[in-house]
Chain A
Amino acid sequence: MNKYYLGIDIGSLTTKVVLVDDTGAVAARAADRSGYSGRRVAERLVEEILKEKGLDKKDISATVATGYGRVTFPADREISEITCQARGIAHLFPAARTVIDIGGQDSKVIKLLPGGKVADFAMNDKCAAGTGRFLEVMAGALEVRVEDLDDLAAQSGESCPISSICTVFAESEVISHIAAGRQKADIVAGVCASVAARVASLASRTGLEPEVVFTGGVARNKGVVNALAEHLRCRLLVPEEPEVTAALGAALLAGNIKV
């Protein structure tokens, strides 16, 4: 009988669950908003996954929890998302040496050693500028959906500069651009460029060594991907499902499955 391992990533905005078998292949995954109780969302997602695969709780050999809610979930171990993210990315991209991860409230750059061990990392300070939450606030001010931001950015002729690094001040900057009659697409392009600039300065602390992988929920946004690639002047690899890579790493660590 196959052994299964669970990785649970309870993030500030979304909760992700990944199930792998003992070869490290993904058997199932699920994600939803963390809401008020990330732990309850995680428990529900686990139930759904087990039902879908016709498995029982007993079939799970080990569970690792990560993300901000990691201590709330009754897992076998809790491991920081930096270690988990590194392991997940090394599994998907063995040649990766730098990981850029932009999540809900954190942006981080991780330098990897071969095999997925962390050599160094840098994270944003307490400020949420340059994170998923920042994009949500800006989308709110522009009255567009976050998922529509990349299409809009692609239509931009000339992006509006957003100079403030503070989310609150940047929002009022966006509002004054709207009041000045600037195109939505140009403002969105400016927002994406500001996220890219913020993360690029973080990357300069650890240094950028190829291959560079861009992951985390924000990596779904092509506007940010393009702005970041342009800013860093390097090729960015993006996983197919960037929001679940830390959960994948957690599952691999649960099974002690090496790259």
Chain B
Amino acid sequence: MAENRKYLPLASTRRLEKLMTRYYFLTRYHRFWGKPLRRPLAWVTSGAPVELLRAFRIHPVYPENYGAICGTRRVSAQLCQVAEAAGYSQDLCSYARSHIGSILRPELAPMGGLPKPDLLVACNNICGTVLKWYEALARIFRVPLLVLDTPFLPGELTESAKSYVLEQLKHMADFLAHFTGRRLDRRELERHMALSKETVNLWKEIRGFCRAKPSPLNAPDLFIHMAPIVVLRGTPQAVHYYRLLRNEVNSRVQQGQGAVPGEKIRLVWDNIAIWYRIFGFFQMFSERGACFVTDTYSGGWVMELTEGDPLESLAATYTEIFLNRSPEFRARQMIELIKDYNADGFVMHSNRSCKPYSLVQEVIRRRVMQETGVPGLVVEADMADQRVFAEEPVRNRVQAFLETLSDI
């Protein structure tokens, strides 16, 4: 029966769990090793230039990744309510609300909340919300806040935008030297950047395997296995892990194994995962033979670092992040993914939390449909706050969409 279709689990998942457990264990007990090793802990946004921080031996921790964990464990709604009771608007990003809720009521939060930061680093290449979110954090913890302001790119990266960001990175490096008592070691920075580059290339290669029919991976695999590229980018552990994953995915392709047995429909996903329904949601598709072969979200970490001066390279890479770019750029990106991965359609998660990602989707949807001729569906939900998810209307739309792609 089609209803019993499940997709194939990856053996690498156990290694992934070990790796992430180790990272969060070290993070949790940072207070025991951070001081003696002179390695401060920084809370950073997902688009922060982490390679520079690593060069100063700073331990980065990602509240956004933590928000995704709260979502997956289905405690976000409760934590969001704590933040709302403290006056934060329900319209605010659910990662921000979950995180602020975890600070106010750590006993409700996974791992008892994140350990207190010595430093905050926010880069607005992913959204403007992070600025106010991190300002609130700076007020709560009374620690320095570093902001990297990356101007929005209506077209291509300009020289003036690049030098504006580069100037800030230089200031940031000066501050970090003063803050950590270490000098910027260029070789150390280049080492972390090389590790980042290798991680990104492996991630790109793994994603590329999904051009195969059937696709060796489905969207939930991509969402789960992207964790190391977010929190461990620029480390040898991330490189080791993605080599392992690359080998497993490659062997799937060699054996013609698909993530969704009997793959009939190939789809592209847009926007952040619906963490609290990560399997249930995609099962609505996989049970009808539909596989998400690629996505714009976990693909956002395929950000290639260019050669040349390391700081200049960081300035360009972190300014050119897709969420910092025009609807035209994003429509083009979607069109290319559809062609490249031979997709039959696409699904856009209109994510109540993530305004820069979601607001332009209708414009992009129309353009992509016009140019590719494949249908696109918009599903309304939220990445972490499960109160926003309405099961029946979503199921209804998904079913109708898949019916348009099959012969009824």
Contact = CB atoms under 8 A, between A and B. Distances in A.
A83 B332 CA distance: 30
A119 B404 contact: yes
Interface string A78-102: 0111110000000000000000000
A235 interface: no
A120 interface: yes
A253 B380 contact: no
Q: Name the residue in A119, A120, A253 with the highest tally of chain B Cβ atoms < 10 Å from its Cβ.
A: A120
A120 B400 contact: no
A79 B403 contact: yes
Contact of B400 (A117, A119, A121, A125): A121
A80 B394 CA distance: 12
B408 A123 contact: no
B407 to A, nearest CB: 9
Contact of B404 (A83, A106, A125, A253): A83
Contacts of A82: 396, 400, 403
- Majority SS of interface residues in chain B? helix
A109 B397 CA distance: 12
B318 to A, nearest CB: 34
B375 A68 contact: no
Interface string A117-148: 11111110110000000000000000000000
B404 A126 contact: no
Given A83-B403, A205-B362, A119 B375 contact: yes
- Majority SS of interface residues in chain A? mixed
B390 interface: yes
Nearest to A124: B393
A120 B375 contact: yes
A80 B401 CA distance: 9
Given A68-B396, A120-B369, A83 B362 contact: no
Contact of B399 (A80, A106, A205): A80
A71 to B, nearest CB: 9
Contacts of B309: none
B389 to A, nearest CB: 9
A68 B403 contact: no
B159 interface: no
B400 A83 contact: yes
Contacts of A68: 392, 396
A17 to B, nearest CB: 20
B408 A81 contact: no
Given A80-B399, A125-B380, A117 B393 contact: no
Contacts of A122: 378
A79 B400 CA distance: 8
Given A118-B403, A119-B404, A205-B362, A81 B396 contact: yes
Interface in B213-236: none
Interface string B139-177: 000000000000000000000000000000000000000
Nearest to A77: B408
A126 B388 CA distance: 9
B95 to A, nearest CB: 21
Contacts of A205: 362, 366
Contacts of B408: 79, 83, 253
A242 B283 CA distance: 34
13 contacts: A68-B396, A79-B399, A80-B396, A81-B400, A82-B400, A82-B403, A83-B400, A83-B404, A119-B375, A121-B404, A122-B378, A126-B380, A253-B408
Listed from nearest, the 4 A-B pairs whose CB atoms lie closest are A82-B400, A80-B400, A80-B399, A118-B404
Interface of B: 362, 366, 369, 375, 378, 380, 390, 392-393, 396-397, 399-400, 403-404, 408
